[in-house]
Structure 1
Amino acid sequence: MVPDTAYLAMEIPLLRLQKNDRIQIVVSAGAPELAAPFNGGVGNYRVGDDGNVSTVVDRSSSTSGYTIDQDGNIDFPILGKMRIEGLTLEDVREKVRSALIAKEYINNPTVKVDLLNLKVTVMGAVTRQTVLDVPEARITLLEAVTQAGGLSNIANPQAIVVIREQDGVRKKIVHDIEAASIFDSPAYYLQQNDIVYVEPKMAEATPRDQRNRQFWTMAVGVTGLVLSTLILLK
């Protein structure tokens, strides 16, 4: 990037749901008993100082959430199967809310939708290879590398790779972390199950390689010393 140069910021792309994603849907209403059948025990109710009733979600529960099946559907209480593959979280929120109103179950429901499985794997020439569990549905490539401790000493900054599987196709997107083009990449904002791989400049030496290198360095040194001695004795 050129110093003191302004670059247009990329609009944050909307994350779209895929098969096997796990989402959490929490319905709230002015009358808690109306919302209870749609929550499947994922939350408790709390009355605020303003008198409004809200749902408190227990995120520690491993059984909460709905997994999108291979047909792109979830099985939602009472409303039944709903196709949500390819939708954004906001789309799902509006779809559930509209269905509750249309079927006259709740007149003015509040619906909250969260993605539970936004995980990104960071590996290769980074300080700490890790799997990041992202609490919010947003993380950038640079943030992921930073959370992995940054680039290691052998990292190639021109070969920051994102491996992404989408619509049944796996693709590899290569970035130069020092170039402005990284901000325009479709993989700058990471998606669920992306793999970030930082290629090394060279293969890291194994203990055996290091021993061999020391042996040959010593052998060359001894050979040079012997030859120098022979020359001097002539």
Structure 2
Amino acid sequence: MNRLIISLIAMAMLTLSSCVISKKVTYLENMVVDSLYKMQDIPELKIQKYDRLSITISSKTPELAAPFNPDGGIYNVGDNGEITTSGAGGGTTEKGYMVDRNGNIDFPVLGNIPAEGKTVDELKKFIYDRLINENLINSPLVRIELLNLKVMMMGEVGSKGIINVQDGQMSLLEAITRSGGLTNNALTEEITVIREENGYRKMYVSNIEDVNFFNSPTFYLKQNDIVYVKPRSAVPTPREDLTWRYVGFATGLLTLGVSLVALFNRN
């Protein structure tokens, strides 16, 4: 009889523990050692509405660049061909030019410039060509930087929130790592990225356990991407979690009591 009771309690504890066991997180599980996987080209980011751009115009003659920069701008070419600039000061260039709802930026002297849909290099060339064709600067140096490259991390990651990207590129794996990694309850087969494209939002789903993830359009993230990691099972509320703790504690006490009774009966 005692053996039956102990067996039933052990089975109950095993059932309770199995309810909280989560799948172990595994990245690129089917990647083969010493096999070669072609690297994906880093996509050029397209400028979107409400992006902020840092734009600096430099010239060998500071007076020519001054109207395009709050503090003017000058560049020098060294003997080794390296270009150094100065004059990227405060004001407009520091906080950036915001792309308005029509996709334009209001730039000194040049006025409204269409920016939406262009890459940074395309916008750089557009401004460069205008400066040359309108005889404003003979040999300008145009530098543009996207200031608001950030992604939002949600769901089953260690640290939820917004990640700012300083170097202009970030992979999904890097974003997950910077967010503290995935929790044990993460559904690794369905990592969701919500992306803004041509005025619409589109959802992509990737499986980071599969090496085909290297070819995913969301392997490299873009500005304003939302990354949502789905839970594998329902996450208990604080009240439910507390209830299960009490149940586990009570089950432990009951098991201890039955074990002691069985031990005393043997004696």
Q: Same fold (TM over 0.5)?
A: yes
Say whether the 8 Å CA contact 1:28–1:53 is kept in structure 2: no
TM-score of the superposition, structure 1-length normalised?
0.85
Within the candidate set 177, 181, 187, 2:208 is matched to: 177
Within the candidate set 157, 177, 196, 1:126 is matched to: 157
Q: Which blocks of at least 5 consecutive residues in structure 1 are unaligned?
A: none
Between 1:68-77 and 1:109-118, the stretch displaced more is 68-77
Distance 2:90 2:217 in 1: 31
Distance 1:219 1:54 in 2: 71
Number of the residue aligned with 1:136: 167
Say whether the 8 Å CA contact 2:59–2:75 is kept in structure 1: no
Distance 1:38 1:62 in 2: 9
* Amino acid paired to 2:178: Q
Query: Shift of the alpha carbon at 1:40?
Result: 3.1
Query: Shift of the alpha carbon at 1:73?
Result: 0.9
Distance 1:141 1:120 in 2: 10
* Amino acid paired to 1:109: P
Distance 2:129 2:145 in 1: 18
Equivalent residues in 2 for 1:53-72, closer than 5 Å: 54-58=85-89, 64-72=95-103
CA RMSD of aligned residues (A): 2.9
Say whether the 8 Å CA contact 1:155–1:201 is kept in structure 2: yes
Say whether the 8 Å CA contact 1:48–1:54 is kept in structure 2: no
2:95 partner SS: coil
Give the structure, 1 or 2, with the largest relative contact order (CA under 8 Å, sep 6 or more): 2
TM-score of the superposition, structure 2-length normalised?
0.75
Using the aligned pairs only, state the percent identity. Answer: 41
Number of the residue aligned with 1:28: 58
Distance 2:215 2:223 in 1: 19
1:183 partner SS: helix
Distance 1:116 1:37, change over 3 A: same
> Is 1:86–2:122 an aligned residue pair?
no
Number of the residue aligned with 1:9: 39
Distance 2:85 2:252 in 1: 77
Distance 2:168 2:174 in 1: 13
Larger Cα-atom Rg: 2
Query: Shift of the alpha carbon at 1:169?
Result: 1.3
Distance 1:84 1:210, change over 3 A: closer
* Amino acid paired to 1:179: D
